[in-house]
Chain A
Amino acid sequence: MKIAVLIKQVPDTETKIRIKADGSGIETDGIKYIISPYDEFAVEEAIRTKEKNAGSEVTVISLGPDRCVESIRTALAMGCDKAVHVQDGGQDFDSFQTATLLSQIIKNQGFEVVFTGKQALDKDSGQVTQMIAELLNWPQVTVVEKIEWQGNVAKVTRRVAGGAKEVYEVQLPALLAAETGLNTPRYASLPGIMKAKSKPVEKLNAADLLAGATAKVTLSNYRLPPEKAPGRILQGELDKTIPELVKLLREEAKII
């Protein structure tokens, strides 16, 4: 099976976000970067799929600046076989452009199954997987929490509202977007890290793959959310504070 996994490098989830003075984005100096957590589930699932299907190969693909090679190396150290780094040339692409250029690579390199995270934990747009699927005319399943392989058919469980689940049978080629709980990502072992250093990383230029796609949306005016007024700690014994809380929820907050 020819497997691809798409990863994005994002700020560590502990990062305190600061906004550039002109609101054009966030301040990036001093930020530690990681593989976006949902993409980590995707990497793990890609490697497990390879392990279950003899003769398979996993290619990790990432679009971003030079620094994202670190995340690519992490994925290689976990067990991916090779990589494609699409250099963004310092440009910020919208989801449609990203989907267009990634879909070109998927088509050109003949992948049969592509794993992604359900959304990247930076812009949180959650659209690239579905857009690629449409551009390639492939089926997609997003918010995937379980995959069972029966030959070339994937039985895929998708988590929906209220604990309900949808079960799909998907013929390849297909795109599958990972949700929490799909698996527990492995740590890169020391031999894995050593091996990763010699695994091939192909470099491509984003601009060459855009196929004329222009941005459909513009993001501007990044800002911090309005601060909430500090809350109130109710002091005293529970037989006093609990009735007080209920009263406040009814009379002050008008919730109950």
Chain B
Amino acid sequence: MSNVLILAEHENGRVKKSAHELLNIGQKLASQIGGQVEAMVIGQGLNDLIQDLGSFGAKKVYAVENAQLTKYNTVGFAKALAASVEQAKPSIVLVSASPLGKDLLPRVAAKLGSGLANDVTDLKINNGKLLATRPVYSGKALVDVTFNTDLQLASVRPNSFGAGEPQSGQTAQMVPVAVDLGTLPAMMKELVQGKSDRPDLTEAEMIVSGGRSLKSADNFKILFELADVIGASVGASRAAVDSGYAPHDMQVGQTGKVVNPKLYIACGISGAIQHLAGMRNSKVIVAINKDPEAPIFTKADYGIVADLFQAVPLLTTEFKKLLQG
């Protein structure tokens, strides 16, 4: 009754980094309440994932092997998660605050009648219960969430905790979970892959972002060149998206994506409050802007007052020197 159960997302036969992060924080929480961390996986061909999850600390892996669940389906996944929870009887369930996790977990919370904290950035144990901290008002404030139910659910914003290291010799026991899915409404017909093979902005460890000042979609090329050298994803301000220089899924901000990278390089972005809402949590912020009064400089760790069309290519060259010798 005092275990932590995490949902391990996987893709192309591999466990996602977010699951390693959840196992790491889950293990810490479990040890404080006298339990262990366990994982659950949903889909097909799950055997290969067990060893990986075990090496990252999972003692048991609850596996829902089902051909109907190879593609994401909210209702089906909610039933699978609920069945695993009933079998595993954890006191805490953690999922990633990914597109899947954020869609799924509230449904599970309503099904199980348990409390939920979504998109949390910090987790602690206080008097034996979970205490979750989450940003509110677009990150302008923080709040603590405590639970009035025995079962406590949280989705965790990617990159909020480290992923830990795999330990050889640590293994997990697989526990099959049977679930009756019935007929599933709203089946996914098609999964259209993104054009980019870069990590999604919400999971990216480094982001290069551009604003209205880029002046065209074509000019974004200089940001992609910089991103390629340091292995970053590329974001944009709403002004750049509204002007058609970048697609919607690149938008960072209040009505765009909330990102949590180690490094955020803002190029020609003024730093409007709605943009800050999406990127203020970045561990290190670099701003390149030709206006020394631009508000972004008050949030940046390092600033360069310059024309981005000169500064960005030079930065690319300098990183190349450093990283490619």
Contact = CB atoms under 8 A, between A and B. Distances in A.
B191 interface: yes
Nearest to A243: B318
Interface in A126-157: 126-131, 133-135, 138-143, 145, 155
A12 B50 CA distance: 47
A125 B145 CA distance: 11
Contact of A96 (B110, B190, B248): B110
A164 B203 CA distance: 14
Contacts, number: 263
A228 interface: yes
Interface string A160-187: 1111111111110010000011000000
A158 B103 CA distance: 11
A93 interface: no
B148 A217 contact: yes
Contact of B146 (A121, A170, A217): A217
A178 to B, nearest CB: 10
- The secondary structure that dominates the A interface is mixed
Contacts of B195: 163
Nearest to A222: B143
B303 interface: yes
Given A11-B137, A99-B110, A217-B146, A253 B301 contact: yes
A234 B100 contact: no
Most chain B CB within 10 A, of A126, A162, A166, A255, is at A162
23 contacts: A37-B255, A122-B137, A124-B118, A126-B106, A131-B107, A140-B107, A142-B103, A145-B248, A163-B249, A164-B193, A166-B72, A180-B248, A180-B251, A180-B256, A218-B146, A222-B141, A224-B140, A225-B139, A231-B298, A233-B302, A233-B305, A246-B318, A255-B262
Interface of A: 11, 13-17, 19, 26, 37-38, 94-96, 99, 121-131, 133-135, 138-143, 145, 155, 158-171, 174, 180-181, 214-225, 228, 230-234, 238-239, 241-243, 245-246, 248-250, 253, 255-256
